[in-house]
Amino acid sequence: MNCIIIDDEALARSIIRNHCDKTADVEVVAQFENAISAIKYLNQNEVDLIFLDIHMPDFTGFDFIQTLKNPPRIVLTSSDRNFAIEAFEYECIVDYLVKPVALPRFLKAVQKAQQFVASTEPIQDTSVQSQPQQETENDLYINIDRRLIKLNFDSILIIEAKGDYILIKTEGKNYTVHSTLKKIEEKLPESKFLKIHRSYVINYHKIIDIEDNSVLIAKDVIPISRSNRPILMKRLNLL
């Protein structure tokens, strides 16, 4: 089995790679310290298995999984000991390892992955529904792994550019979509949304406060570029 390792910690990558070196039929073909680099790699290469850290800054393991159209088998890794239930909501996930990973437990995970790889075809998302893509006055449909998910404009807080992807933060959940800020900006009503920085579009009705060159939305502090600050100030109902 070809595998890749995605983890922002060098120590964690080292442990998994060393365990792979000791395991027959498992070859590490690449290692990544962030998910974005791994996505670029996977756009051009196929792998059988991914060892994926759940908790990485900016782009989590779950964000990463949502970007994959036909995900290979995935073994999740985490320092947390209480993620297991959420982890198995994803069909592609075959096991969950708590860091630091000991070799016997690692071997069990590999065995599970081998069984899945040998017995099944690539995973197809069975939850796809033939739902027409449309933009209404209040909603936006985003395509996540061939599923059209409806987002109400009022639920969207922030949209952040992440390389070839955008991260849409809503009041309930975050979504990673293969798109650009420019494309999504065209779909959003000006009465609610404004680009305040080259990497951020915000729902300015969700601003909690503005301080110097940043705005606070929910728990996120978003920078305002100098050129966009006057535009934002014009949109606000200032006393």
Among 27, 69, 84, 102, binds other proteins (CB under 8 A): 102
CA 136, CA 212: separation in Å to the nearest integer?
35
Smallest gap, in angstroms, from Cβ of residue 221 to other proteins? 8
Q: State yes or no: residue 85 binds other proteins (CB under 8 A).
A: no
Q: Are 195 and 215 in contact (CB under 8 A)?
A: no
> According to CB under 8 A, which one of 14, 115, 138, 152 is a site residue for other proteins?
14
Positive or negative, the Cα torsion across 105, 25, 53, 142?
Answer: negative
Q: Does 10 bind other proteins (CB under 8 A)?
A: yes
Q: Is 103 a residue that touches other proteins (CB under 8 A)?
A: yes
* Cβ atoms of residues 202 and 212 within 8 Å: no
Nearest residue (CB) to other proteins, 11 versus 118: 11
- Does the protein bind other proteins through residue 208 (CB under 8 A)? no
**CB of 99 closer than 8 Å to CB of 84:** no
Residue 6 CB, nearest distance to other proteins (Å)? Answer: 15
CA distance between the termini of the chain = 64
The answer to whether residue 12 forms part of the interface with other proteins (CB under 8 A) is: yes
Burial label for 2, CB within 10 Å (0-12, 13-18, 19+), is middle
> Using CB under 8 A, which residues numbered 29 to 58 contact other proteins?
55, 57
Rounded to whole angstroms, how far apart are CA atoms 15 and 31?
12
171 is a contact residue toward other proteins (CB under 8 A): no
Regarding 22 and contact with other proteins (CB under 8 A), the answer is yes
What residues line the site for other proteins (CB under 8 A)?
8-12, 14-15, 18, 22, 55, 57, 79-81, 99-103, 219
